[in-house]
A and B are shown apart, each in its own frame.
Chain A
Amino acid sequence: MPPQEGCDTSGGCGSRREFLGTAVATVALALTGCGKLSKEEFLQHNFRELSKDEIQTVIARLEKEYQEKFHKTVKVGNEPAMPGVIFGYALDLSRCIGCRRCVHACVKENNQSRDPEIQWIRVLQMDKEEGVNLQHAEQYYNPDEVPQEGHFYMPVQCQQCKKPPCVKVCPVGATWREKDGIVVVDYNWCIGCRYCMAACPYGARHFNWGEPHIKDADVNPATHYLGNRPRPKGVVEKCTFCIQRTRKGLYPACVEICPTGSRKFGNLLDPSSEIRQVLENKRVFKLKEDLNTQPNFFYFYGV
């Protein structure tokens, strides 16, 4: 029989498992100095292993936490993947002018840290003479007007691979590919080892080196557990095709903002969708196709 001391005070301490959990948590707290981590947070399982009730408990805890932190009601959703949907994305390289509207709309929508600012989309300025050549790509271009003569622009973000190397290397299973093709991260399970960042050939994953700073007013309160909910320090984050929007039927924020209409989004399994029209009728390529990551993100030439 395990010792029963301490159970009287906590009230509902019924099982041996629960007692040991509490004990381990207490010891871990003392040893690691993770003072901020609550017992519930420490003992929380991987998102994929949680029951419906447990998910509700976790979400309630997070919402309370965000309420205290940002002084406003933040809704954390957990909409599952829609059946019969695999998301695809296509970007028209002949139309993108590199204005970076998408980059900043994404930051606003997805609650990235503002100081320092984390950006999930990186727009590369390339030479027309060189074609798609990453050796001749510049992301810190800053002229008065775009597009610049002799250049074209290539925004790069998470390619939502069918064979994601980032998922393969994660030692704890904190990142996975959902049924609708979105690669997601459980920020509460991520240990911050950054193996995934090293494995990703697109530079699409970003690490919260510091406590993410967002002003209360800037927090987007419509969030998803696997998407844009405010992140803690020390976890990796990435583009999720705006999972909080797309699983409700909306376009991602970058599609909505693009002034040139270069960004196309839709269901790969729907033959009448825009994305299928692009794939069937236009010249399409995948970035770094030779790596066999099999992206669901395509680049095309609309002309």
Chain B
Amino acid sequence: MRHPSLSMLATGLLILFATAASAGPPAAKPNPEAQAQGTLMPEGIEVPKPPFTDGIFPCTSCHDGKSMKVNTQRRQLTAMHDDIVLKHGPESRWCLDCHDANNRDSLHLASGEKVPFTASYMLCGQCHGDKLRDWRVGVHGKRTGSWNGVKQYLLCVHCHNPHSPHFKPLKPMPMPTRPEAIQIRKGGVR
């Protein structure tokens, strides 16, 4: 067939429109309740509840834009969140690089597109694209559940504190008993 038929043209046009429509407005407004529970994300990845500090979410209970004005000034936090140590990437990084100033119950990408806390992996994946790719196929990160069925994923932030993401050292569990330390006891070795 040399020339594209009418139906093919129509299909092409439809695809064009569809992409234009989806690229238009950013993602739907994040729902605070769904984020607090953990939910099924659009791409079919079921994620658990993000590891919020107790009582901290929704952020808009304080940062509602009325009682507290948005302060974009880079500064030492004293009144609240002073426990957060920011040790992630360059010195110039700041809260509002990731947290959205206008809707505190959501995060935003570098493009300005809002993402809910339950899809924070999108945010991490902006810089750590190789890790995001590996996480999606199950090579990076932990999965539990069923090897041939439903799996439980963890978000990046379940293992890596987003403010200082280096994996924290652990205390090792007891070492094996040295052979010379094994005691012969009654009812033991004949």
Q: A142-B172, A209-B189 are contacts. A251–B147 as well, Cβ < 8 Å?
A: yes
Q: Which of B11-19, B27-35, B84-92, B163-171 is the contact stretch?
A: B163-171
- Asked whether A219 is an interface residue with its Cβ less than 8 Å from the other chain, the reply is no
- Asked whether A65 is an interface residue with its Cβ less than 8 Å from the other chain, the reply is no
- Identify which of residues 177-214 in chain A touch chain B, using a CB-to-CB cut-off of 8 Å: 209-211
Tell me whether chain B's interface is mostly helix, strand or loop, or mixed: loop
Tell me whether chain A's interface is mostly helix, strand or loop, or mixed: loop
- Asked whether A161 is an interface residue with its Cβ less than 8 Å from the other chain, the reply is no
Q: How far is the CB of B137 from chain A (nearest CB, A)?
A: 4
- Asked whether B141 is an interface residue with its Cβ less than 8 Å from the other chain, the reply is yes
Q: Is the CB of B176 within 8 A of A264?
A: no
Q: Which A residues touch B93, using CB under 8 A?
A: none
- Identify which of residues 253-291 in chain A touch chain B, using a CB-to-CB cut-off of 8 Å: 255-256, 258-261, 264-267, 270, 273-274, 277-278, 281-282
Q: Is the CB of A142 within 8 A of B175?
A: yes
CB-contact partner of B149 in A101, A211, A249, A278, under 8 A? A249
CB-contact partner of B146 in A101, A145, A251, A277, under 8 A? A251
Q: Which B residues touch A98, using CB under 8 A?
A: 172
Q: B130-155, CB under 8 A of A: which get 1 and which 0?
A: 00001001111111111111000010
Q: Is the CB of A266 within 8 A of B172?
A: no
- Asked whether B44 is an interface residue with its Cβ less than 8 Å from the other chain, the reply is no
CB-contact partner of B177 in A117, A146, A264, under 8 A? A117
- Asked whether B9 is an interface residue with its Cβ less than 8 Å from the other chain, the reply is no
- Asked whether B4 is an interface residue with its Cβ less than 8 Å from the other chain, the reply is no
- Asked whether B174 is an interface residue with its Cβ less than 8 Å from the other chain, the reply is yes
Q: Is the CB of A261 within 8 A of B142?
A: yes
Q: Is the CB of A141 within 8 A of B182?
A: no
Q: Which residue of B lies closest to A118 (CB)?
A: B176
Q: Which B residues touch A144, using CB under 8 A?
A: 171
CA distance A222 to B190 in the complex (A): 30
Q: Which B residues touch A281, using CB under 8 A?
A: 139
Q: A97-B169, A142-B172, A210-B189 are contacts. A251–B178 as well, Cβ < 8 Å?
A: no
Q: How far is the CB of A250 from chain B (nearest CB, A)?
A: 6
CB-contact partner of B172 in A146, A209, A265, under 8 A? A146
* Range class of the B interface residue count: 20 to 34
CA distance A145 to B89 in the complex (A): 25
Q: Is the CB of A103 within 8 A of B159?
A: no
CA distance A164 to B149 in the complex (A): 30
Q: Is the CB of A147 within 8 A of B139?
A: no
- Asked whether A139 is an interface residue with its Cβ less than 8 Å from the other chain, the reply is yes
Q: Is the CB of A261 within 8 A of B143?
A: yes
Q: How far is the CB of A220 from chain B (nearest CB, A)?
A: 18
Q: Is the CB of B175 within 8 A of A249?
A: no
The residues of A with any CB-CB pair to B shorter than 8 Å are 85, 97-101, 103-104, 115-117, 119, 122, 139-147, 209-211, 246, 249-251, 255-256, 258-261, 264-267, 270, 273-274, 277-278, 281-282, 302
A-B contact pairs, 26 of them (CB 8 A): A103-B173, A104-B174, A115-B185, A140-B175, A140-B176, A142-B174, A146-B169, A146-B170, A146-B171, A249-B147, A249-B148, A251-B144, A251-B147, A259-B142, A259-B170, A260-B142, A260-B159, A261-B142, A261-B154, A265-B147, A270-B148, A274-B138, A274-B143, A278-B139, A281-B139, A302-B140
